[in-house]
């Protein structure tokens, strides 16, 4: 492989400095320059990605704009190891959600510097979109802890949120024995009696399951003003039908929390940045009755492309969501998801997974996904060095692996634990 002329440490410093200018600092020229530098680095440090770029006839010398950088399909993370740094420097390893295919889960690796920039940007975003009006509050987590589910990205991310924004009485309510329904009910009643607002964070499926349990018991709550919900992970009907609109009705009935205090989050292992709804931030800024969407961010670009054409779609029209994220230095800048959504004037919104949409088969010039992954040498499937690392006491090598291997709707540990 050719030598990479971009120093990783220098690139990391430049990216982090840009991120730390805040979510209101939009500079197209700086973003473009950093994206091109990151592409250059990843092209030369990641053989798998270089194979893809060559199959498309693209190399760093021929790219002048971030939109020309080839995206890597999320399925590639399930086929092989995607890393733009030496795996011996891995600081954290996580599993992708597997929502599309519970039996095919990718492994995501981050080194120390890339993990630090991801943590810093997501701290900033969580503060801005979920806790803009408070420093700390009691957080009730409808996910398992990282100790119970060490390979689960949501568990890892919400542990950070609990540590940074939660009070001492914040805790988890999903254990290997299932959702602790009685304990959660008791703590919600305590919050009502004390008049202290709380934040419930976790998997969308957990809220739906809890709602069903409360309906069976004939109970609901009127939580103190300022209470809020932050849900994520998508919902595939695991515990009954529940549209996004119905979900807000459920939260309002069950907890007494209005829709503008319900923040949905899009997070995915293949990309470092979490994308939050605008509604709570807008409401507290005096903007009411606005459109719900995931906000544009200075260090990311999200576009929507045609399912069959791959061409950029006009705003408001459905297509596949594609992320360009500077925090992805450890993997690849550009990620092509199988999420269906549309662009808005100030961001984008996601509707769900494409899941077997006819005509979207990841066929690439020169062969299939696996063809260019294996390329002309150097590509290694997941069952080699990385799996060996996972078996040697890495974060994923505990009970959660066994649960994940069984395969279940949504393929998240949370869903399986809830059912217990």
- Per-10-residue mean pLDDT of the chain, 420 residues long, equals 70 97 96 98 96 96 96 92 93 68 68 94 96 97 87 86 96 90 96 97 90 93 97 63 82 95 92 95 87 94 93 94 97 95 94 58 48 50 33 32 31 49
**57 CB neighbour count, 10 Å cutoff:** 9
Residue 291's pLDDT is: 87
Residue 107's pLDDT is: 85
Q: What is the dihedral of CA 228, 234, 236, 240, to 10 degrees?
A: 0
Residue 385's pLDDT is: 34
Task: Name 139's bridge partners.
Answer: 199
Residues 163 and 157: their CA atoms lie apart, in Å, by: 10
Which tokens belong to 409? 């709707």
Residues 269 and 272: their CA atoms lie apart, in Å, by: 7
Which tokens belong to 117? 């920039």
Residue 155's pLDDT is: 85
Residue 205's pLDDT is: 86
Residue 151's pLDDT is: 75
Residues 233 and 201: their CA atoms lie apart, in Å, by: 11
**352 CB neighbour count, 10 Å cutoff:** 14
Residues 371 and 363: their CA atoms lie apart, in Å, by: 10
**108 CB neighbour count, 10 Å cutoff:** 23
Residue 149's pLDDT is: 81
pTM: 0.83
Residue 419's pLDDT is: 53
Helices (H), 195-321: 204-217, 244-255, 279-284
**194 CB neighbour count, 10 Å cutoff:** 11
Percent helix, strand, coil in the chain, to 5, is 40, 20, 40
């Amino acid at each position: 492989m050719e030598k990479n002329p971009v120093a990783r440490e220098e690139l990391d410093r430049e990216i982090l400095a840009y991120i730390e200018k805040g979510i209101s600092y939009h500079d197209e020229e700086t973003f473009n320059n950093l994206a091109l530098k990151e592409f250059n680095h990843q092209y030369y440090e990641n053989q798998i990605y270089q194979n893809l770029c060559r199959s498309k006839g693209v190399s760093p010398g021929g790219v002048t704009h971030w939109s020309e950088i080839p995206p890597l399909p999320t399925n590639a993370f399930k086929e092989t190891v995607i890393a733009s740094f030496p795996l011996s420097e891995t600081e954290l390893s996580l599993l992708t959600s597997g929502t599309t295919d519970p039996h095919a889960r990718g492994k995501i690796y981050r080194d120390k510097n890339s993990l630090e920039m991801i943590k810093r940007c997501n701290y900033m975003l969580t503060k801005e979109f979920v806790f803009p009006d408070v420093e700390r509050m009691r957080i009730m987590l409808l996910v398992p802890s990282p100790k119970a589910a060490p390979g689960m990205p949501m568990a890892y991310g919400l542990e950070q949120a609990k540590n940074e924004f939660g009070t001492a009485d914040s805790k988890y309510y999903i254990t290997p024995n299932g959702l602790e329904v009685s304990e959660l009910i008791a703590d919600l009643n305590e919050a009502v009696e004390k008049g202290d607002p709380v934040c419930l964070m976790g998997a969308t499926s957990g809220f739906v399951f809890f709602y069903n349990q409360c309906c069976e018991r004939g109970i609901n709550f009127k939580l103190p003003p300022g209470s809020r919900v932050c849900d994520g992970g998508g919902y595939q009907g695991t515990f009954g039908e529940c549209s996004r609109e119905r979900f807000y009705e459920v939260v309002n009935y069950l907890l007494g929390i209005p829709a503008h205090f319900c923040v949905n989050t899009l997070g995915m292992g293949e990309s470092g940045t979490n994308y939050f709804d605008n509604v709570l931030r807008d409401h507290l800024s005096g903007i009411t009755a606005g459109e719900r969407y995931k906000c544009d961010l200075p260090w990311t670009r999200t576009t929507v492309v045609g399912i069959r054409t791959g061409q950029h779609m006009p705003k408001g029209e459905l297509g596949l969501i594609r992320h360009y994220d500077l925090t992805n230095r450890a993997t690849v800048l550009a990620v092509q998801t199988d999420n269906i959504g549309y662009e808005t004037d100030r961001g984008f919104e996601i509707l769900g997974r494409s899941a077997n949409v006819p005509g979207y088969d990841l066929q690439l010039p020169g062969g299939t996904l696996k063809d260019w992954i294996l390329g002309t040498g150097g590509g290694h499937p997941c069952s080699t060095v990385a799996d060996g690392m996972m078996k040697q006491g890495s974060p994923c090598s505990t009970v959660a692996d066994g649960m994940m291997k069984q395969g279940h709707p949504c393929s998240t540990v949370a869903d399986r634990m809830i059912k217990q």
